Amino acid sequence: MIKKVLVANRGEIAVRIIRSCRELGLPTVAVYSDADRKAMHVLYADEACHIGPSPSIESYLNIENIIGAARKSGADAIHPGYGFLSENPVFSERCSREGIIFIGPSSHAISTMGDKITARKTMTAAGVPVVPGTDECITSEEEALSVIDQIGLPVMIKASAGGGGKGMRLVQKATEVKSALRAARSEAKTAFGNDAVFIEKYIESPHHIEFQILADGHGNAVHLFERECSVQRRHQKIVEETPSPILTPERRRQMGDTAVAAARAVNYQGAGTIEFIVDSQLNYYFLEMNTRLQVEHPITERVVGVDLVKEQIHIANGLPLTLKQELLEQNGHAIECRVYAEDPANNFMPAPGRVTHIDIPYGVGVRVDGSIYEGFEIPLFYDPLIAKLIVWGKDRKEALERTRRALQEFKIAGVKNNLKFLERIVNAPGFVLGDYTTHFIEENKEALLKDDPCDSDCEDIVIITAFMEYIRLMEKASPGEMTALKNNWKNYSRIRSVLKL
């Protein structure tokens, strides 16, 4: 049985994992780089080990230093979170050689699913539908054109080692093949050190719908239904919801069964996600498997009523799943909004800096998984995801209304962020109707990204007016009331910064 968990990650996911460990009574060890000395996961864990300089390649991706930290702290298990080393088969293998439990699947499952060409072949052999295309690596324009002859245009050229939407090019005309092939290969080489690419039919106006699965070492596997992840910018998710507004019960059941079959085909153990691309007729095709916890896992937790991190630990302890497929159901509706320190108006450029003020929303049905606090310096070295707002409602309408309310309450000052952009998404007619595809942001760019110079000025005027009211109340207040007023004055530090006090 696991006795102490080292969390080989940072930010909101490290905090989230530590929370479940704490509920299980498991001591935790955080790891941190120079830039993260004062990060929330470091403050929150029972112990913390420094693992190197700020660039991730020298710290969060440094296998030797992380294994060293586990040895030093006596951790007998490592949870990799997502990103960083979570899908690195060498790391998973190294943990087992060191006698450390890797809270995740075997290195075989990671490498089979981590390479998109191998995954396509494995899935085809298991009878899982894949997007029409090639299972071979394409190196020349001639090879590409001959595949296109068979499947027709448009197509996607995709990196076999791909992730994060990198190394992917859309080809609509035969004359674009040469340059798209060159661009995809060179981007893949730079991002993944591997320039293998393949070709898939481009699915027009698709949905990205993924299924959460859990599988143990005793032959049991279940799915925990879907997450609709079609709101994407640059092929990366930004708002997710469950249930999907477009799935019928019948198609949901079929896709769930297919997801379980896909996991079984690689003897999967742990939590994983089978991603599908779905066309307008609800035909679905395997896109890839993510052999780890997903950023958007909390919406599944909320609607299905499980703690996925605890399930991962349970499975890593070699215990059989206690969940039964026939007893699992979706209860209500959940929406996740990813809060980034970035500038949507400036091509979503990351915007690191010091957080001078934060108001986190609370109340019925609201969960915030975050990692920032007032005074925290968001480092420029890592992904700018700083918090996730997860909202539950008894149905989609209530979840949507509650998300809007929570986003209105959410305030972050000091760094540029996408809160306003998220608010516009959840108010956009297409989103409200549940009628959107992966092109939603691109198609609504103007409305979602409209420059609103008035925003910050208006906000300042509201703050100044509120401040005058505050002074008026303070003048009349008794000492007890004054303390209460001060404590309740949520925007106090923001007011100070606006008024330069």
Give me the active site residues, please.
292
Q: Within 235-274, which residues bind ligand ADP (CB under 6 A)?
A: 235
Q: Which tokens belong to 130?
A: 């894949």
Tell me if 203 contacts ligand ADP by CB under 6 A: yes
Tell me if 165 contacts ligand ADP by CB under 6 A: yes
CB-side neighbour CA atoms (13 Å) of 429: 3
Q: Which tokens belong to 25?
A: 């009574």
Tell me if 164 contacts ligand ADP by CB under 6 A: yes
For residue 458, give the amino acid letter: C
By the 8 A CB rule, do 32 and 48 touch?
Answer: yes
**Binding-residue pattern over the window 70 to 109 for ligand ADP, x denoting contact by CB under 6 A:** ----------------------------------------
Query: Closest by alpha carbon to 353, among 422, 415, 411?
Result: 415
Distance, in Å, from the CA atom of 440 to the CA atom of 421, rounded to the nearest integer, reads 13
Distance, in Å, from the CA atom of 185 to the CA atom of 316, rounded to the nearest integer, reads 37
By C-beta, is 191 or 482 nearer to ligand ADP?
A: 191
By C-beta, is 36 or 296 nearer to ligand ADP?
A: 296
Coil, helix or strand at residue 150: helix
Backbone angles phi, psi at 342, to 5 degrees: -155, 165
By the 8 A CB rule, do 80 and 66 touch?
Answer: no
By the 8 A CB rule, do 167 and 159 touch?
Answer: yes
Q: Give the binding range for ligand ADP (CB under 6 A) out of 53-61, 156-164, 177-185, 247-255.
A: 156-164
Shortest Cβ distance from residue 113 to ligand ADP (Å)? 11
Q: Give the binding range for ligand ADP (CB under 6 A) out of 21-29, 83-91, 203-211, 324-332.
A: 203-211
Q: Which of 156, 271, 358, 390 binds ligand ADP (CB under 6 A)?
A: 156
Coil, helix or strand at residue 339: strand
Residue 322: is it exposed, middle or buried by C-beta count within 10 angstroms (0-12/13-18/19+)?
exposed
Q: Which of 87, 187, 200, 342 binds ligand ADP (CB under 6 A)?
A: 200
Tell me if 438 contacts ligand ADP by CB under 6 A: yes
Q: Within 209-238, which residues bind ligand ADP (CB under 6 A)?
A: 232, 235
State the residue for tokens 């798209």: 180
Shortest Cβ distance from residue 200 to ligand ADP (Å)? 4
Query: How many residues are given for the chain?
Result: 501
Q: Which of 87, 241, 288, 296 binds ligand ADP (CB under 6 A)?
A: 288
Shortest Cβ distance from residue 49 to ligand ADP (Å)? 31
By the 8 A CB rule, do 346 and 423 touch?
Answer: no
Shortest Cβ distance from residue 133 to ligand ADP (Å)? 7
- Total residues contacting ligand ADP by CB under 6 A comes to 19
For residue 139, give the amino acid letter: T
Q: Which of 185, 208, 302, 357 binds ligand ADP (CB under 6 A)?
A: 208
By the 8 A CB rule, do 6 and 65 touch?
Answer: no
Shortest Cβ distance from residue 123 to ligand ADP (Å)? 13
Distance, in Å, from the CA atom of 333 to the CA atom of 395, rounded to the nearest integer, reads 5
By C-beta, is 167 or 370 nearer to ligand ADP?
A: 167
Tell me if 287 contacts ligand ADP by CB under 6 A: yes
Q: Which tokens belong to 369?
A: 């998984």
**Binding-residue pattern over the window 117 to 146 for ligand ADP, x denoting contact by CB under 6 A:** --------------x---------------
Q: Which residues bind ligand ADP (CB under 6 A)?
A: 131, 156, 162-166, 200, 202-203, 206, 208, 232, 235, 275, 277, 287-288, 438
